Amino acid sequence: MDLITIIVPVYNVEKYVRECIDSLLNQTYKNLEIILVDDGSKDNSGEICENYANADSRVKVIHKENEGLGFARNTGLSVAQGKFVTFIDSDDVADEDLVERLLKGITDSKCDTCIGGFKRISENGTISFVEQYDIALFTGAGIYNELFARMLGSAPDKHDAIRMSVWNVMYSMDIIRKYKIEFPSERKFISEDIIWDSEYYKYAKRVKVIDSTAYNYRITPGSLTQKYKPDMLKKICVLYNEMTDRLSNDEAKITRLQRQFFVNLRACLKQENPKVSKKRNLEVVSSVKAIVNNETVHTVATTYEKNIKQHKQKLFVELVKSKRIYALYILVKIGGI
């Protein structure tokens, strides 16, 4: 039986981390190495991790200064001993067959990578959404040109995106080591995962997508949609510009990236709602104005508009492109974005 590494970055999650670790210890596949990376937690998370390590030899704990999720994952990768690796966030929960199903996807089809779907759950574990993929096999150039392209976002005329997050994916440690693949800091990019994907899937040879939804992604009060992030606009623009450089004028992929840019921009505008931002009305208007006047926002709106197929999406992009500040402000205020 191959050793499988599970890397869990841990930061101030004493409320959830026990349930996460328990779900890993209870996996039907037993030959595991569970690396808990305590990223400078200020609560009891680090102590909880130590207690698990003392009780089960499969659990290892690394304590480090706080640098963020991406660098915590890199720390885990630097000591990983498994043939394959998967990641889980410390406030999420794995069904007992998560590892078994991902590994079966790899071994049955002689693959180096396997991707599953997920369930979105509330704080108390209630399922609110399920994303399940059709079983598929990608090989050779199709991995980067079809599978990775769908991770950038949906095509303009349909919803065919595949989640770019690295959890509920099993990766080859041989590929990671050979090509020295690492995560950047999410303090620079709004999504460090898509940067990882843009490197890893250049080198994968066979990737299986399975219909498993054994990963449970928990929406907490600190989640992206629940907490105001003043640097969100900057981060989505930095990510867009970084990815367009990496995609080297690949028009089809950049069009998908532009659609995802506007998904992210909606989130950026949504968080300006006074209930989230705690801003007064004039401050919200000012923030909306700054968003639509942003150079990257205007450039993407101008180039993407001609590719849009869906009426509602086209209307939103037109409002942004035309800098209809007050119309967007009203949509933000009433929650209509």
Query: Which of 189, 218, 247 delimits the end of a domain?
Result: 218
Q: Please indicate, yes or no, if residue 192 is contained in any of the structural domains.
A: yes
- 239 lies in some domain: yes
User: Do 214 and 236 belong together in one domain?
Assistant: no
* Poorest-pLDDT segment among 124-138, 201-215, 299-313: 299-313
**Residue among 13, 65, 14, 7 at smallest CA distance from 32:** 7
Q: 232-247 and 251-270 helices cross at what angle (nearest 10)?
A: 180
How far apart, in Å, are the Cα atoms of 239 and each of 73, 129, 158, 192, 303?
19, 27, 23, 9, 17
Could you tell me how many residues make up the chain? 337
In DSSP terms, which residues pair with 86 in a beta bridge? 6
Q: How many CB atoms lie within 10 A of CB 6?
A: 26
Residues 12 and 141 in one domain: yes
The mean pLDDT value for 143-161 works out to 95
Question: Does pLDDT of 163 surpass 90?
Answer: yes
CATH label of the domain that carries residue 129: 3.90.550.10
Q: Do 156 and 190 sit in the same domain of this protein? A: yes
What average pLDDT does range 255-279 have in this prediction? 96
Residue 186's pLDDT band (cuts 50, 70, 90): confident
Q: Cα(first)–Cα(last) distance of the chain, in Å?
A: 50
Residue 59 belongs to some domain of the structure: yes
Higher pLDDT, 307 or 62: 62
Do 211 and 275 share a structural domain?
no
Sign of the torsion angle spanned by Cα atoms 147, 311, 296, 326: negative
Two structure tokens written together for 250: 């690949």
Stretch (H or E) spanning 298? helix 295-304
Tell me if 227 is assigned to some domain.
no
Q: How far apart are CA 188 and CA 139, in angstroms?
A: 32
Domain count, the chain: 2
Tell me: do 211 and 248 sit in the same domain: no
For residue 225, tell me if it sits in a domain: no
Does residue 103 surpass a pLDDT of 50? yes
One domain for residues 194 and 247: no
226 falls within a domain: no
- Give the pLDDT mean for 116-139: 95
Residue 21 shares a structural domain with residue 121: yes
- Tell whether 53 and 87 lie within a shared domain: yes
Name the residue range of residue 249's domain.
Answer: 232-334
Higher pLDDT, 187 or 127: 127
pLDDT tens for 215-259 read 999 997 655 445 799 999 999 999 999 999 999 889 999 999 999
Percentages helix, strand, coil for the chain (3-state, rounded to 5) are: 45, 15, 35
Which of 166, 192, 218 marks a domain boundary?
218
- The reply to whether 223 falls in a domain is no
pLDDT, residue 224, reads: 44
Do 154 and 202 lie in one domain? The reply is yes
Domain-located, residue 18: yes
Which of 183-187, 251-255, 332-336 has the weakest average pLDDT?
Answer: 183-187
Domain boundary (218, 249, 284) is at 218
Same domain, 262 and 152: no
72 and 98 inside one domain: yes
Do 204 and 250 sit in the same domain of this protein? Answer: no
Does residue 76 sit in helix, strand or coil?
A: helix
Strands (E), 91-241: 93-94, 113-115, 118-121, 127-131, 136-139, 169-172, 206-209, 215-218
Q: Which residue has the higher pLDDT, 293 or 248?
A: 293
